[in-house]
Amino acid sequence: MNAIRPVVFSGMQPSSDSLHLGNYLGALVNWVALQDTYDPIYCVVDLHAITVQQDPAALHANVRRTAAQYLASGVDLERSTLFVQSHVPAHAELAWVLSTITGFGEASRMTQFKDKSAKQGADATTVGLFTYPVLMAADILLYGTELVPVGDDQRQHLELTRDLAGRFNSRFGDTFVVPEALIPTESARIYDLQEPTAKMSKSANSEAGLVKLMDEPAVTAKKFRSAVTDTGREVRYDPAGKPGISNLLDILAATTGRSIVELEIEYEGRGYGDFKKDVAEAVVERLTPIRARTLELLEDPAELDRLLAIGAEKASERAERMLRTAYDRVGF
């Protein structure tokens, strides 16, 4: 048997004080599962975070809080490499090289940039936001990544990464692995509890619809009790007709490992109140140890920084090797 496991790369921005239930069920649970079969590289992408204005003290704290939440959710340092992007200078260095083979028109076609810059206006939009996908390509290509777990919103950026890898290879000689998208088989998409047709997001409109990993258990329970449903009385899975109930069913299924059909049968003839109370309990039960472990990790900042330094060293060694090769090919 081949002992070399394929490399997977993924990251999240440290741009809030807590990850949310969508990040956990939609990404972190999958990250943890991938450790069994892959060689995962998990990154706190702080260089990406500063493409929009951040408060320095908050950013510093959020980097640690994000890393602590990865660890508390089950990212295992024996099987994964966990590090902070700005600790490994090769990311910014390779991004520069890749930016010189990226077409201006090509980068201008990125829909995420078009959406975000349209919202912010030209003067508030940074060049960093424009080149963000090139930095993402560097993140991925530095590690010989074969697979990238991506949501719909990152597909176009992964396509660009693939194009840049192929272009570099044909211009300068075979250097980068051209990565593929890894579509998780059962990745839950979680919606806002107050507005169940909108994706749960840190930039949610209302605090009440956003379930944070770091919320106190009583706060989480209250958010579920006040979740928007509909005027009917059946607990039935129908995302178009009953988005609120369907979202709660998805959340209960994902947190308990039970099937939707099984849950529909269990709640037949019972009211929404009972159902919402059970969803609240299941989520609280799942998140309580994660929150507790996160707080424990944050109580010892020196130890957390030590773990992140080890991760940075592991990542640097690999990234530097690839950067050296790329520099060499370019003629440096």
Task: Give the active site residues.
Answer: 116, 199, 202
Q: Which is nearer to ligand ADP, 155 or 314 (CB)?
A: 155
Alpha helices in the chain (DSSP H): 21-23, 29-34, 46-49, 56-73, 90-99, 104-108, 111-120, 127-141, 155-172, 217-225, 243-256, 260-266, 272-298, 301-330
Contacts 24+ apart (CB under 8 A), 71-74: 71/293, 71/294, 71/297, 71/307, 72/289, 72/290, 72/291, 72/292, 72/293, 72/294, 72/297, 73/24, 73/28, 73/29, 73/31, 73/32, 73/213, 73/290, 74/28, 74/31, 74/32
> Minimum CB separation from ligand ADP for residue 246, in Å?
13
121: left (phi over 0), alpha (psi -120 to 50) or beta: left
Name the 3-class secondary structure at 192.
coil
222 is in an annotated binding site: no
151 is in an annotated binding site: yes
> Minimum CB separation from ligand ADP for residue 31, in Å?
9
Q: What is the DSSP letter of 198?
A: S
Nearest residue to the partner ligand ADP, using Cβ: 26
β partners of residue 12: 44
Say how far apart CA 228 and CA 75 lie, in whole Å.
33
Q: Which is nearer to ligand ADP, 151 or 217 (CB)?
A: 151
Asked if 236 and 188 count as a contact pair (C-beta separation under 8 A), the reply is no
14 is in an annotated binding site: yes
Say how far apart CA 125 and CA 268 lie, in whole Å.
51
Q: Which is nearer to ligand ADP, 200 or 228 (CB)?
A: 200
Q: Which residues bind ligand ADP (CB under 6 A)?
A: 12-13, 22-23, 26-27, 151, 188-190, 199-202
214 is in an annotated binding site: no
Q: Which is nearer to ligand ADP, 156 or 201 (CB)?
A: 201
Residue 106, both tokens: 């090509």
46 is in an annotated binding site: no
Q: Which is nearer to ligand ADP, 189 or 258 (CB)?
A: 189
> Minimum CB separation from ligand ADP for residue 323, in Å?
26
199 is in an annotated binding site: yes
190 is in an annotated binding site: yes
Q: Which is nearer to ligand ADP, 112 or 125 (CB)?
A: 112
Q: Please work out, in degrees rounded to the nearest 5, the angle formed at the alpha carbon of residue 113 by the alpha carbons of 106 and 103.
A: 15
> Minimum CB separation from ligand ADP for residue 231, in Å?
25
> Minimum CB separation from ligand ADP for residue 183, in Å?
11
> Minimum CB separation from ligand ADP for residue 153, in Å?
7
Binding residues for ATP: 13-15, 22-23, 151-153, 190, 199-203
Binding-site residue ranges for L-tryptophan: 139
Annotated binding site: 13-15, 22-23, 139, 151-153, 190, 199-203
